[in-house]
Structures are given as C-alpha cells and as structure tokens.
Amino acid sequence: MNRVFNFSAGPSMLPLPVLEKAAAELIVYGDSGMSVMEMSHRSPDYEAIIADAEAMLRKLMNIPDNYKVLFLQGGASTQFAAVPLNLIGRTGKADYVVSGQFSGKAFKEAQKMGYDVVCAATSKEDNFDHIPTLTRDMFRPDASYVHICYNNTIYGTKYQDIPDTGDIPLVADMSSCILSEPVDVSRFGVIYAGAQKNMAPAGLTIVIVREDLLEYADPKMPTMLEWKTMAENGSMYNTPPCYTIYVAKLVYEWLLSIGGLPEMKKYNEKKAAVLYDYLDSQSYYLAPVKKESRSMMNVTFVTGDAELDKKFAKEAGAKGLKNLKGHRSVGGMRASIYNAMPHEGVEALVAFMKEFAANNPKA
Ligand SMILES: *Cc1c(COP(=O)(O)O)cnc(C)c1O
C-alpha cells in the first residue's frame, strides 16, 4: 500500500529516509547481533547511540555548553508538573501566559500544587486566535520563571519573537515546533518538548535546561521528575525510552544531512506559504488565526458550516489526505505540516481544497 499524506497533529509523519533506516536496522543493529529494542541501555552500543543523539541535537540547535539536555519519559504533560517542582524554589512564585489549551493546562497544574502562580496574559477571550502582546512590565520581577507555549498546536498560533522577560528565566513548551527553525536557546532558561510532533515516535520528552536552574527543586519532589537527578545520571537514572531515542537520533542525522535547521526553516516557510497564500486568495475557507500569529506547523481553517467541515475531512481522507479534522475542542480543519510533511503533500491538499469548494457551493 502507498503511504498517505498524514496531517495528524501528533503522533505525526516521520521522514521516509528515517523509517527506511530504522527498518534496515530493525533486526540487527550494526555488529551487535541484536535489535536496538533488545539492547541494555548500559551497553557500549547503546551508550554510543544516546551520546550521538545528544551531540547531534546540540549541533542542530546550537545548544550552549551551560545547558543540559535530558531524554525523559512522560510526555510534555508531565513537564507541566515538573516545571514548577524544579523551579519554584527560586522565589516561590511564577507567571504564565495562557495562549491555548496546553499552556492553560500547564498553568492549572502549577495552581493545583498550591503555588503562587498568576496568569500574566491570555488571548482566551478571543478564542486564542492570536498570541498576546507581551511586555516586560507584565511579569512580576520576582517570578521564578515565565512559562509560555511557543507554538499552539490546537489553534495554530505561534510566537514570532521571543518575549523579553529581563532576568526572569523563560520556560517554553516547544512540543509542536522544536527543530522546525533555528531558535536562540540562550534566550531561554528551559525548553521542553514531547517528541511525537516533530522529532520521533511518542514516548520521549526532551528537556533543555540551563545548569544554574538545577538548584531550585522542591526537596519533596518525586525523584523521577527532578531534572538535576536526570542530568547527573546522563538521563539514565532509570531505563530511558531507548528505541525512541534511537529514532530521534536518526531524525537528527537526517536534519543535519539536509543542511540543519536553517534549511528546514526555508522548506517549512515555502510549504506553509502554499497553504496560507491559497487561504488568503479566496473566501470559501476562513482562516481564524490573526496573520501576525500564524503557525508554520499547524494551519487551521473552517468552511463556516460544521456539516461541510465533516464532509471535507471525510472526502480528503478517502483521497489519501488523512487526519485533517480539527481538534475535538475547536472543530473545523487543521493541517499539521511538520518537518516530515513533503511539499507535495501541501500542494495536494490545496488542489483538493479547490476541488471541494467547486463541488460544494454554499447555500
Ligand atoms: C501535544 C502537546 C502537548 C502534550 O504532549 P504529551 O506528550 O501528549 O503530554 C503539550 N504541549 C504542546 C504544545 C503539544 O503540542
């Protein structure tokens, strides 16, 4: 069977060369005589895999030496709890920007733990159709950190600039945009991301943390959530998600082979432009997100008629354009066009959109 264009928000497409390499090495890896799935995480073969994965990620993202890179489990959602547990000890309070569902969940999780947290800004009253404008004076100067979600997967919005938080460490959930373009890591205290959007299969969570921020953990916190413990043990305090880290390594290798994140960004920009240019050129579909907040990774649109939206997703699916239905909480359509989505996938989607609009005139 042919592979389809899979517009799923996550887990999502992986680059074909990565799948091919993983398939070729599935049963016997190198001269180890076994699959990576069967290897001890303490074996020399595996130690080389995780060391290479870290070195490649550092190279790709240009991660400064004073940052630790952690390969963890539990998904980005576990970090919603781990962030306050690791950082609140700085000053006892923290500020959040709520720009969508995931940042809202992160905020609620910190609140639930009884910490002094406030929502410094939100775009909730506008259905999260933009990123709130942020200025330094909106944050409490003694906040332990400011938490943001850099790309809002469900609504299709993204920060176009890194907010200025002065000396307050900035913590960013980058689950759905990590590796899509270069970012200046030194502007952040912590970056974290679930892998299954743009990096690897599910099961791996990356945390990139500035070393001086490892000193503020709540002493009562669960060991498994403590970044310092994980950093001191090279992400091997317990068994890491071995196979997923291996696939992530293959993805990093692929990214480096195509020219790294500057080239990836150019490709992603062209791809997203095909879709947005079409959306801006017609009136059948509506793109609810404000232009200045548009995401390059998740593109949302609606026909304005819930029945037509349903029909659209169904007929597109039948043509090999899969998973275009919007998030269950917002409806409409969402095309997730991460790194691994080929340009032809977006071209095929726009062709289908034109055809659907012609065949289904609105009353
Ligand atoms: C998918 C997603 C999450 C949730 O990730 P899990 O790994 O499923 O916990 C959190 N934040 C963002 C921005 C996401 O896209």
Mean model confidence pLDDT for the chain: 97
Q: Which of 153, 158, 298 to mutate to test the pocket of ligand 1 (most atoms within 8 A of CB)?
A: 153
Which of 175, 206, 207 best tests ligand 1's pocket when mutated (most atoms within 8 Å of CB)? 175
For the stretch 181-229, pLDDT in tens is 999 999 999 999 999 999 999 999 999 999 999 999 988 889 999 999 9
Give me the DSSP letters along 56-117.
HHHHHHT--TTEEEEEESSHHHHHHHHHHHHHGGGTSEEEEEE-SHHHHHHHHHHHHTT-EE
Residue 45 Cα to ligand 1 midpoint, Å, equals 31
Give me the CATH code for the 17-257 domain, please.
3.40.640.10
Query: In 10 A of CB 263, how many CB atoms?
Result: 13
Q: Which amino acid is at 10?
A: G
Residues lining ligand 1, CB < 6 A?
A: 10, 75-77, 102, 149, 153, 173, 175-176, 194, 197
Question: Looking at the chain, how many residues does it have?
Answer: 363
Distance in angstroms (rounded) separating the CA atoms of residues 278 and 220 = 53
Q: Is the pLDDT of residue 363 over 80?
A: no
Give me the mean pLDDT over the 336-348 stretch: 98
**Mind listing the pLDDT tens digit for each residue in 255-288?**
999 999 999 999 999 999 999 999 999 999 999 9
Distance of CA 281 from the midpoint of ligand 1 (Å): 32
| Model pTM score | 0.98
> 222 preceded by cis ω (within 30°)?
no
Cα 98 to Cα 81: distance, rounded to the nearest angstrom: 16
For the CA of 154, the nearest atom of ligand 1: 15
Chain segment 105-158, per-residue pLDDT in tens: 999 999 999 999 999 999 999 999 999 999 999 999 999 999 999 999 999 999
CA of 230 to the centre of ligand 1 (A): 21
Q: What percent of the chain has pLDDT over 70?
A: 100
Both tokens of 217, joined, read 């953990």
Residue 329 and residue 253 in contact, taking contact as beta carbons nearer than 8 Å? no
- Determine the pLDDT at residue 330: 86
Cα of 27 from ligand 1 centre, angstroms: 31
Q: pLDDT band for position 172 (50/70/90)?
A: very high
Return the residue whose CA atom lies nearest to atom 3 of ligand 1: 76
Which residue's alpha carbon is nearest to atom 14 within ligand 1? 175
Non-local (6+) Cβ contacts of 142 within 8 A are 91, 93
What confidence score (pLDDT) does residue 328 get?
A: 86
Instruction: Please report the pLDDT score of residue 118 as a whole number.
Output: 98
260-280 helix and 242-257 helix, angle to the nearest 10 degrees: 80
C-alpha of residue 352 to centroid of ligand 1, in Å: 29
Report pLDDT digits (tens) over 300-337.
999 999 999 999 999 999 999 999 999 988 889 999 99
Residue nearest to atom 12 of ligand 1 (CA): 175
Domain boundaries, the chain: 17-257, 261-359
User: What is the Cα 222 distance to its own chain's centre?
Assistant: 25
Q: How far is the CA of 244 from the centre of ligand 1 (A)?
A: 16
3-state helix, strand, coil in the chain (%, to 5): 40, 15, 40
From ligand 1's centre to the CA of 102, what distance in Å?
7
pLDDT for 2 beyond 90: no
Query: Which CATH topology does 261-359 take?
Result: Aspartate Aminotransferase, domain 1 (3.90.1150)
pLDDT for res 229: 97
Average pLDDT over residues 66-76: 98
| Ligand 1: centre distance to CA 75 (Å) | 7
